[in-house]
Structures are given as C-alpha cells and as structure tokens.
Structure 1
Amino acid sequence: MTTTTLTLNNGVELPALGFGVFQTPADQTATAVAEAFRVGYRLVDTAAAYANERGVGDAFRASGLTRDDVFIQTKLWISDYGYDQALHSFEKSARKLGVDQIDLLLLHQPLTSRFELTLDAYRALEKLYADGRVRAIGVSNFMPEVLTELLEKTEVVPAVNQIEVHPYFQQRELQALHAEHDILTQAWSPIGGVTIYGAGQKSTLENETIGQIADAHGKSPAQVMLRWHLQQGRSAIPKSVKPARIAENFDVFDFELTGDELAAIDALDTGVRSGPEPTSITLENYGREIPEA
C-alpha cells in the first residue's frame, strides 16, 4: 500500500496528500481548512497571491492541533522577487499564517523576463533555510530549462517543484529531471480541474478509461486520479470547499491500482497545458501588490 508520507531531499517528511486553497475565497478558507483538518489532512498549500493565508492560520489555531501536527506550505509571488523583497515577503506570509517557521516555502512562478530577480529571491529562500526559518524550499511551475539554470546558479537543490500534472498533462520530461535531482513532483490541479478541453474532449472526471477503473474499485474518478499520483510517487494537493468532496478526496488509501490501470491512465496524456504558459508570467501582466500582514 502506498505510504501516506514522502521524504524530501533534505530528510524532511511531508504528507503525500495535501489540501489546496487556490481560488478559495478568503471568507471561506478557514471553514474549508477546518473541515480538511477534521477529515485528516495535515498538509495545507496556500500562497501569498491567493490572499487567504490568514484563513489557513485561523483554521490551524482553532484546530487544537500542535504545530508539529501540521505541514504548512506557501508561495512567494513575483511582485516580491529580489533578495530583500523575498525576505520581507516571508515575514508577511509568516505573520498572516501566525507561525514562526514555514514548513515549505516556494517561488510561485519563474520570472523568466527578469530571471536575476528570480535567482535573488531563491537566494533569499536559501538564507531563510540556513537560518531555520523554513524547513525546506522549492519552486513552482519551473520548466526544464529554467530549473536547470536555477540548479546551476544556486546552492540548495529545490526540495519540490509544484507543477500542473493530471492525466491529460503529465510533463514527463520535467518529472524525469526532478527524479535525476531528487526533487519531489507535487501536482497542482491533480484531477484536471483547471483544464479547458477542446471540442469533443471530455473532462478527466468524465473520461471512460478513468470511469471504468473507478467502477472496478468502487471509487470515484477523482479518487482514482489521486491514487494514480500517489502510487507514482507524487504529492498531490486537491482543493474543494464542499465537505463531501473534501472527505472523498482524502479517502484514497484503501485501494491499489494495478500496473495495467496505471499504464492506461498514463496513456491519456495529451501534452496540452491548461494553466498559463510559465514564460507568459511577467510583472507587466501579473504583477500585483501583496499586502502587509
């Protein structure tokens, strides 16, 4: 049976299955995260750009869980890249979350048009890691060429690259690079929720292959896709504000997909990205002020 935890390249353990709050309204975040804690999630993924870090912190403080019980990860936005700016951005996030130490801190996007700012921001993460303010550092949405350049110009190998991965978009070249450098692949949109499909293309939740596998196990398509991630060694961070879905997405540790079933899901890859192209993320198009705590 697949383990419920994964070990990062610096020895830190994190829950394999986490709870995401992307696009969760600030006034609903604390309630959703509280429900996730009740169900059994112990990893929560947020970001400065989501404007709901405070709700995550509120839910944690109300949960009765200890700090060691919960793995909290967040991401710095491109508007706060640069060395000093990134150090200050950490302080903003830590205060909103109400914690002294963040478990995993990521750069949310590569700012390829101003990559020197990206490198300076990552060097700030290295400083925070060296000082014990964060337990692990990493990146998000870094493609092979950009990740390779980061590896060449910085000291600490990222523990995680959080990227779009679901049955229709698997990024195998990038995942192979992760494996080469012992970087954990963490899947956002793990069940294809952000995908906009072309004419005649059914969503992953309506895909016949996934549906047949789900029927064979008495599970939902979403549960099958999450199980696919976990059995292939990825971390996954599904999101929902609906209690039934929150519970359903966590109920994936009592069945196992066969090799043939895993291969059948692998064969669904279309190579089509649904999220924004990482090189399109610029300060001109996506810059936004991240408020103080």
Structure 2
Amino acid sequence: MKRSGRLKTTRVVSTPPFDAGSATAATTCALKGGSLMPILGLGGGIFGGGAEEAIVSAIKLGYRLVDTSPKYGTEAALGRAIARSGVTRADVFVQTKVCNVGYTTALRSFARSLERLGLDYVDLLLMHSGISGAAKADPRSPRHSEDRAGTWRAMCQLKQEGKVRSIGVCNFSLRMLRELSRAEPPAVLQLEWHPLLQRWHVLRYCREQGIVVQGYGSGGGGWRLWRKRPELELLRRAPMQLAAHGKSAHQVSLRWAIEHGVCVIPKAERPNHQLENLQLFDFRLSADEMAALDGLSAHRSVYRFCDPDKYA
C-alpha cells in the first residue's frame, strides 16, 4: 500500500538545521566543523554568457551563497562577479564541485577550479555524483565505489590543507552516503528536492547524522515540472497560492522545502526572478497546505540524471 506524503513527513523526527518560522533570506545553518552556510543561495546551472552579470545582480540584491561547477562553465564568472560586487570575499559562500574521478584526477580538477575562480579557498566542495563516468555503462562495476573512495580522500585532504572549508556530496543514494560516512561523514548532501520527488528516508538519515540537505529544482525545475505534470494543476488553482498568500507556484514550492528544513538554491538569471526567490520569508504554509504538497510525492525526477540507487 502506498503511504501518503503526510505519513512520510511524520517519520522525520529529528530537529531541522534551522527554524523555518523565524528564518530570513540572511539565515544560515551550521555545518560540521562550524562553518555557516546560508539556507538560500543562487543555483548554478547554465547562465550562458550572462553568468557574471547575473551573479553580480544576485550578490547586490543580498544573496550570500552561489553554487557553481566546472560543468556549468561559470567558475571564472563567479570569481569576477565577487570582485565587482563590492562585497568582501569572506561574506560570499562559494561552493563548487568535482566529479567522481578518483584521487589524482580530483586533485587536478579542483586545482583548475580554484584557478578559474581566482580564490584561495572555497567554502564547500561537493562530489557532483557518486557514479563514475569511466564505468557509467556498467551500473554494477566496482569502479564506482573505488572512484568515490579516491575522490573523497582527495576532498578530505583539500579540507585538511585549508583549500576547502567543508566537503559534501550530490545525487547520492542512501547506501552511498552510508558507505562514505565510514571514512568521514559529508557536511552537506545536495539533491533534487521538490513536491514530486520527496526522499524522506534520505532526509531522515541526514538529520540523524547531522548532514545538511540542500535541494536543487525545489522551485519546480525551471518550470518544467509545472508545465509537464498535469497533477500539479492543483497547485495553479490552489487558493493557498494566490488568494491566501499572493505567491506563485514557484515560491510556494520553495517555501515548502524550507518548511521541511531543506536549504534551497533556485537558479535565477534576471533580477526580478532573483528578487522573487528572496521573498519566501513573509508567509508560512499551514499544516493542511503542507500535507497537500506532501501528498504529491510520486518519485518523479525532472532532471535526466542516472538513478544513483541503480549503481554500485
């Protein structure tokens, strides 16, 4: 029998990393080791040629966390944007990524990232996936686990050297998380999180282990989720969106994530969209509204990533 989203929610029994009721756009949460990470940031994704201007705009509006990756091609733009923004480097939480490529290649990849960023350190380094590109065609290959161990060892070393303040992972299965935690638990898990994809078993494990969850796609996957999922028409019509709160489906979905103690990094290139994503803290969703959104869970990914549960 399929359990309702509401029942799944009640299974998350431990304390969230921040108080959603008193949170603001400037609220931070503590990571393992003592670093403070903003609960709201600017998602990386692909900005094309407008990345630098978009990041400058976001920082000037008040964003203090920016997500990037070598795959996004925005690291150099982020470094230039910080220099232009008028905000000190120490006040911007910079997070980038390395792929699951093993020890030596991970060190080389990060060195190039730091050079492109033009920085001495990053606040958070994430392993972009637990799947090894060298063995992607073979889900059961031991190469996935071997490369994860090597990549994580490199990341731990970079942290010890002071080039990285905190380390974490993206798109990991629960089994991968447990395996990695035997060496050193990650500080952050970044994963796809929105009303149609709710991984309560992963969230509960992270709470128990003190791992902060950071969601991407939480506003609806760049609107693809809202356009392509007919069941979410209920959100478009819902009084809680327009009449009660005067908010868009995008904002309601982001607020839903925050109410569950999940940090969010919505992508927004235009200043008006960036401002909209900051306006999540002047309303709250009722228990009934939260239950309605919880009940939409269908384990449906908006993004075309490989399912980590299928890989060794």
TM range (shorter): 0.7 to 0.9
Structure 1 counterpart of 2:169: 139
Aligned 1:1-293 pairs, distance under 5 A: 1-3=21-23, 4-25=27-48, 27-78=49-100, 81-111=101-131, 113=141, 114=143, 115-152=145-182, 154=183, 156-193=184-221, 201-202=229-230, 204=232, 206-208=233-235, 211-215=238-242, 216-275=244-303, 276-279=305-308
Corresponding letter in the other structure for 2:200: R
Residues 257 and 263 of structure 2 are in contact (CA less than 8 Å); yes or no, is this contact kept in structure 1? yes
Deviation at 1:128, TM superposition (A): 1.0
Question: Could you tell me whether the CA contact under 8 Å between 1:104 and 1:136 is conserved in 2?
Answer: yes
Amino acid at match of 1:237: I
The structure where helix makes up a greater share of residues is 1
Query: Structure 1 counterpart of 2:159, which letter?
Result: Y
Shift of 1:274: 2.7
How many pairs align?
A: 276
Cα distance per residue 1:14-61 (max 9 Å; x no partner) = 110000120221x21101111111211110001111111111111111
Question: What does residue 289 of structure 1 align with?
Answer: none
Secondary structure of the 2:268 match is: coil
Alpha-carbon shift at residue 281 of structure 1 (Å): 10
Task: State the TM-score, normalizing by the size of structure 2.
Answer: 0.82
Question: Does the 8 Å CA contact 1:210/1:224 hold for their aligned counterparts?
Answer: no
| SS of structure 2 residue aligned to 1:48 | coil
Distance in structure 2 (CA, Å) of the matches to 1:199 and 1:47: 27
SS of residue in 2 equivalent to 1:49: coil
- 1:77-109 C-alpha deviation (Å, 9 max, x unpaired): 23xx22122112111111111110100000000
- Asked whether the 8 Å contact 2:173–2:308 carries over to 1, the reply is no
Match of 2:137 in 1: none
CA contact (8 A) 1:166 1:191 kept: yes
The answer to whether the 8 Å contact 1:214/1:221 transfers is yes
- Residue 207 of structure 1: how far off its partner (Å): 3.9
Residues 130-163 of structure 1 deviation map (CA, whole Å, 9 limit, x = unaligned): 12111100000001111111123x1x21001100
Residue aligned with 1:226, SS: helix
Farther off after superposition, 110-119 or 93-102: 110-119
- SS of the aligned residue for 1:217 comes to coil
Aligned to 1:287: none
Residue deviations 1:196-229, cap 9 Å, x none? 669983375x543784222211122211111111
Equivalent pairs: percent with the same residue? Answer: 38
Indicate conservation of the 8 Å contact 2:156/2:167, yes or no: yes
Runs of 5+ unmatched residues, structure 1: 283-293
Q: CA RMSD in A?
A: 2.3
Give the alignment's TM-score, normalised by structure 1. 0.87
